[in-house]
Amino acid sequence: MTPAGTAHILTAARAWLAQDPDPETRQELDVLIRDAEGGSEPALDELHSRFDTRLEFGTAGLRGRIEAGSARMNRVLVGQAAAGLAAYLAEREPDARPSIVIGYDGRRNSRVFATDTAEIMAGAGIRAIVLPRQLPTPVLAFAVRHFDVSAGVMVTASHNPPADNGYKVYLGGADEGSQIVSPSDAEIEAQILRVAASANVLELPRSTDYETADETVVDAYIAATAAVMTSEPVPMEVVYTAMHGVGWETFSRVVAAAGLTLPHSVVAQQEPDAEFPTVAFPNPEEPGALDLSYALARETGAELIVANDPDADRLSIAIPDASSTEGYRQLSGNEVGALLGWRAAVLNAEQGNAGGVLACSIVSSPALSAVASEYDLDFVETLTGFKWVSRVPNLIFGYEEALGYLVNPRTVRDKDGISAAIDFLSMACFLAGHNLTVQSALDAFAEKFGYFASDQLSLRVTDLSDIAAIMAHLRANPPAELGGVGVETIEDLRDGFGDLPPTDALRFRLTDGSRVMARPSGTEPKIKFYLDVKRPVERKDEASVVLAAVKSDLSAIAAAATA
C-alpha cells in the first residue's frame, strides 16, 4: 500500500465518520480508522473494501450489508439517497408538491432508515407519509396507488442474508406504482451523487412534519386482496411460514376476510426477527428453509404448505409427495407460475373478457407462452426483474421463476406473495371441491400443454470478478453442445434483442427445443443458469436426464473459466 493510497482512504473514512449519525457504525468505523492509522493492514484492507466503491442506486434500488462506508448500507447512505430522491421528485414535478409513502419491514434499522427518509423528505418540502408499522412490501406497493403519491420507498432487503438491508423505490403517476426502471434509476443516482459530493448528511434540512398513515390503508389492502378469492372456500389443512418476516399478521387477516380456514403457522418463524435464527438464508428457495414447515405439515397432515419470504412479496408452495423423504415436494416457481397463469386465462375467458396479456421474465419457463396461445391471449417476455413484468400493458397475470407472481395488476403493480397465496388457495379449494389435488392440476397441465421441466444452476462466488470471467468465457468460447444436445443458436442480449432492452445475458437454444439462459444475479453474488426442456407427456422422463447432463456441462465450463 502506497502512502498516498493510505492517506486517500483514511481521508475518505474520516469524512464519512464526521457525518455519520449512527453511534454503532460510528464506533465501528472509528476503531477501523485508528487501527489503520496504527499500521494494521487488515484494517486498511477493510477500509478499502468499504470506501473504494459505493453502493450503486440501480433499478433494484440499494441493497447491502449494514456497516459504515459508502459500499455498505447505513444512515449516511440512506440520508444521501433520500435527499437525492427528493431532488429528483422536485425536478420531476416542478409545478406541484411531490408526495411519497414510505414503508419498512422487520429487518435491522428498517424503521430508522424509514424515519430518516421521512424527515429528509419533509425537510425538502415533499409531502411524506409513513405506513403505520412494519408491513409487507406489497402493502407499500398498494399504498403508492391508494394514496396517489409521486413515489414510494420500501426499506427491505427481501430474502437477503440477515446482515443486509435495502431501499426499494416505486413511482406513481404514469408509472402506476411500479418499481423504477431506466432512465429514472440513473437520474436518481445522479442526484444522490450530487448530494454525496456537496452535502454533509448531518446538515441536510430535516423536519418531523410528516404524516403517519392510519390503519385504513392496511384495511383497504386486505379487502382488495381477499377479493382475489373467487372459489367457494373448502376446509383444508394448510401450513404457513412467514420466514421470520412481516407476512403473518397481514396474511392471516386476508385469509379470514376471504373466508378461508386459518392455517397452522410455524410459530418459531411467525414473528419478525431480524436475526432469522432458524434459517441459514431467509429465502424459501434455499435448502433447509422449509424444514420446520415440513415438520409441522407432517404433524398436522397438511394438504398444502404456503411460505412467504421475509417481506412477503414472494410465495413458495409445497405439496404432499410420498416419494420425498420430507413427505412433501416444494414446487418450482415455474410450476406455480404455470398453474396460476392457466387459472388466470380460464377466469379471463369465463368472465367474457376479450384479449389480455400473460407475461413472464426471459428466464422463466416457456410454458406460459403455451397457455397464452391456447386461450388467444398475447404473451410478452420481459427482462429479469418484476419492475419489467409489472409494466406490461393489458396484463392479466405475470410472474418470474424466482417465486414472484402478480395476480391482481389492477391493485398492485409488483409481485405480491400474499395475493398470490390467496389465488393459489382459491385454486386449491376449487380442485378439492372436485375431488382433485394440486398434483392433479400439474398432471392435467402436462396433458394439455406438454411437459415442461425446469432447473437452475446457481453458482455463488466470493470474488465478483469470477462472474464476469464466466460470462466472458461463454462469449469467447461458446459451447457447440450442452448435455449431448447441439447448440442451434446463441442470442447475446448484451446489446438488446428483439423488443428487449440490453441486459447482460446469453440465451442458448438447443436442437431439441431446450433452452439455457446465463445471467449474473442482480441482487446476490451469483451467476445463474436457467434450464428449460419440453417433452410430450409420454416422454417426460427424458427431461430430467437432459437437465442433469446440461448442468454437468455448465459446471465444468464455469470451473474452467475461473481456474
Residues identified as active-site: 158
Query: How far, CA to CA in Å, does 292 sit from each of 12, 160, 265, 385?
Result: 46, 19, 10, 29
Of 264, 318, 274, 269, which Cα lies nearest the Cα of 292?
Answer: 269
What is the DSSP secondary structure assignment for residue 58, as one 8-state letter?
B
Closest of 109, 81, 82 to residue 22, by C-alpha: 109
Q: What is d(CA 335, CA 391) in angstroms, rounded to the nearest whole number?
A: 23
Half-sphere exposure of 26 (CA within 13 A, CB side): 8
Cα separations in angstroms, 459 against 124, 283, 365, 529, 556: 43, 16, 20, 9, 12
Distance set, CA 17 to CA 24, 70, 72, 357, 536 (Å): 11, 11, 14, 51, 63
Contact 140, 101 (CB under 8 A): yes
Amino acid at 104: Y
Please name the amino acid found at residue 396.
I
Distance CA 287, CA 466 (A): 24
The pair phi, psi for residue 147, each rounded to 5°, is: -90, -5
Q: Of all residues in the chain, what percent are helix, strand and coil, respectively (each to 5)?
A: 40, 20, 35
Of 289, 286, 248, nearest to 265 (Cα)?
A: 248
User: Alpha-carbon distance 213 to 145, whole Å?
Assistant: 14
| 3-class state of residue 472 by DSSP | helix
Tell me the chain's radius of gyration from C-alpha atoms.
24
Q: Tell me the C-alpha distance between 553 and 563, whole Å.
A: 15
